[in-house]
Amino acid sequence: MTPNSSLPAAVIFDMDGVLVDSNPFHLRKWADFLREHHIPFEEEKLAEVVLGPANEVTFQRYFGEQITPERMQELGEEVEETFRRVIAPHARPFPGVRRLIEACRAHGIPLAVASCAISKNVEFLVTALELRPYFQAILSVNDISRAKPDPEIYLKTAAQLGLEPAACVVFEDSFVGIEAAKRAGMKCVAIASSFPAEDLRQGTLADLVVPSFEVVTLETLRALFDGMAAGRPPSS
């Protein structure tokens, strides 16, 4: 990996709001779901509440801590089936995503998805976006016991790739996702697709905040690792 010594050893993507503009459909599904169940909510603050955390966190927020795992699974199937049906005709990668992914592959940089969405949604969208062949690892909330902002999903992704967390860079769009990536010891680029760039700069420890993938190149990633030896763990 000498020619890529200052490039990341792996690039890890969150999914919703990062690979695909799915968050408007998530907001719509939650607003419709809460109205159908006659649960009051502040529409202007809905994105802050539901974008990023796992469904279980949202269900506990609106239904109370006493909600059973069985009931959460039932409600989750209801809300996510609606999401997949509604987004299906509109699933497209964000502009610039495929270009960056192809550039990473051309330089031998492993790619992964680490999303706190349920596995059905992750599999559905990665396939719909026609990106599956690019990824060496795909993890969902079904692969972990603690959701973001816990770093578990990113640590497991690095382990699955056989890489040091500090050698990896994550693309995230949410506050909890950025926190998870930084707690994992990874570099993090925040995409201002779901929240204003200034809010992400002031409210997170993201290493870089960008408006979109259209301004991200391999040189952008190289700059994050200048002076570091990004690569595989040294042999003991």
137 bridge partner residues: 112
Could you give all domains of the chain from N- to C-terminal order, each with its CATH number? 2-21+92-225 (3.40.50.1000), 23-89 (1.10.150.240)
Contact call for residues 4 and 109 (beta carbons, < 8 A): yes
pTM of structure: 0.83
Mean pLDDT taken over the chain: 91
Q: Region 51-68: what's the mean pLDDT? A: 90
The answer, yes or no, to whether residue 234 has pLDDT greater than 90, is no
pLDDT of residue 17: 92
The answer, yes or no, to whether residue 4 has pLDDT greater than 60, is no
pLDDT of residue 158: 98
For 49-86, b/e burial (b = at least 16 CB within 10 A) is ebbbbbbbebbeebeeeeeeeeebeebbeebbebbbeb
Q: Could you give the percent of the chain with pLDDT greater than 90?
A: 80
pLDDT of residue 200: 97
pLDDT tens-place string over residues 91-134: 999 999 999 999 999 999 999 999 998 899 999 999 999 999 99
| Between residues 1 and 216, the one the model is more confident about | 216
pLDDT of residue 172: 98
- Reported as half-sphere exposure (CB side, CA atoms, 13 A), residue 162 has a value of 6
The answer, yes or no, to whether residue 55 has pLDDT greater than 90, is no
For 177-206, b/e burial (b = at least 16 CB within 10 A) is bbbbbbbbebbbbbbbbbbeeeebeeebeb
What's the sign of the alpha-carbon dihedral 110, 113, 119, 125?
Answer: negative
pLDDT of residue 5: 62
End-to-end CA distance of the chain: 19
Confidence of residue 190 (pLDDT cuts 50, 70, 90): very high
pLDDT of residue 236: 31
Contact call for residues 207 and 188 (beta carbons, < 8 A): yes
